[in-house]
Chains A and B, each alone.
Chain A
Amino acid sequence: MKTLFLAYRQWALDVYPRIKKHPKISEMKLCTTHEELVAANPESYDLILTCGWSDELYDLANKVQAIGVHCAELDRYSYGSPIQLQILDGIKYTKHRIFPFKWDATSKRAHTHTREYSHETVLDLTGGMKDILHQMTETSVVLFNMFLDDYPNQIVWKQWPEEELVRPKRNPSDSEIKDISRMTARQIYDFIRCLEDPYPNAFIKDETGTVYFKNVEFKE
């Protein structure tokens, strides 16, 4: 089976050399940019695996089967920044799932808009970003291998329940700590740790400059 693997974040790139060893894969080409994807003649492949890939695949997703991994259990986190939003909401354990990439020009949601998934594992959100990203590498390897084991005839697609509100993606200006005196230690800790590198760090700014909080420790 000829496959493309799309990834550009380091935790996702670390998945690639481990997945390409799967016995059903005869060829796996890595693309780290949209330009590389276009140049790869993607329609000639059997399957596209994406890992932490943010760009839309547009109509390509309707021509070639494409899957991705998404790290949220609830529908409200189906758009961007799912890890950050879940930590800020106090969620300690979530799900890491395989979902099918689809393209719908009329949809206001991201590529998980069908709410379909095939395989899932538990993801622990209680540590720092380094721990969480390491887990995402490990669980992605497991998920892709499970999917490939079942591919093509034994995949069972399920659906997670739909929710009314899907939270918007965060942007760097959302990383500002606005009023620290109103926050509990747990809230500040969660705010800072979910924005550790490589994400836009939590910050406080004044007219003299900006201080970024990169690491914090909290004991219950």
Chain B
Amino acid sequence: MISPLNIIVCAYRDWGIKIAESLPQDLATYTILRSKEEYDTHFKNYNNDADIILFFGWSWIIPDDIVNNNICIGLHPSPLPKYRGGSPIQNQIIAGESVSAVSLFRLSDKLDKGDILYQEVFSLEGNLSEVFDRIVISATKACEHLLRTFADTKLLVALPQNETQGSYYKRRTPEQSEIKLEDFTTFTANELHNKIRALQDPYPNAFVVCKDGTKLYLKLSAI
């Protein structure tokens, strides 16, 4: 009888919490930390007893002593090494990508640059809520694959990222959600639609500053 794994999951976004709650129950006991406060409290007296610590869309710096003394795995919704950094979903959709991947990778001291453990593709088509539903499904599949392999072999096979393929983006700001009036003549129909759907709720919606200076928020479009 194999003793279940002891896994800590750090996730505060809805999609991250959904993944955490979908992980296979037969493999591990999970401690889900749903906020920075829960994370701080838990790690105050932590004695490195977790088999794995998972970070799903986590936005805070993780101290070196945790990264160096534990198996820390991050989840990033892009086909790393592409679209490292902030707002990966928005940046991919706006760039016109139609297929992405959930990447599981070993955390390192460099942002989203750790060795890749597993990637599971998903489609970027449709509305943002549909994209997030697919991320949850693909991420759950990827995590299950990784955790079952680890439970069986105690091994994690990781491949370094190809630095020549890498790209980095900063987190988007609300001001970047503007569609300028001239964009309506220079953007293609697809580019307009992609910008609107990439910035649906709960993100700062695409907006137009009209000739009277008033902002108009474009919440839903179709092509």
Nearest chain B CB to A209's CB is how many angstroms away? Answer: 4
Interface pair B210/A185, CB less than 8 Å apart: yes
Bound complex: CA A210 to CA B223 (Å): 6
Bound complex: CA A212 to CA B208 (Å): 15
Interface pair B181/A214, CB less than 8 Å apart: no
Judge whether A165 is part of the interface by a CB distance below 8 angstroms. no
Interface pair B211/A209, CB less than 8 Å apart: no
What is the interface size of chain B, counting residues whose CB is below 8 A from a CB of the partner? Answer: 24
Judge whether B117 is part of the interface by a CB distance below 8 angstroms. no
**Chain B facing A: main interface SS:** mixed
* Interchain CB contact (< 8 A) of B216 among A188, A204, A209: A188
Interface pair B212/A211, CB less than 8 Å apart: no
Nearest A residue to B216 via CB reads A185
Given the contacts A184-B214, A188-B208, A209 and B189 also touching, CB distance less than 8 Å: yes
What is the interface size of chain A, counting residues whose CB is below 8 A from a CB of the partner? Answer: 26
Judge whether A32 is part of the interface by a CB distance below 8 angstroms. no
Bound complex: CA A180 to CA B179 (Å): 12
Bound complex: CA A218 to CA B212 (Å): 13
Interface pair A212/B221, CB less than 8 Å apart: yes
> Which A-B residue pairs are the 10 nearest by beta carbons?
A185-B214, A215-B220, A209-B189, A185-B210, A214-B220, A217-B217, A208-B188, A211-B189, A215-B219, A181-B181
Q: 7 A-B contacts, Cβ less than 8 Å apart?
A: A180-B181, A181-B181, A186-B212, A208-B190, A209-B189, A211-B223, A217-B205
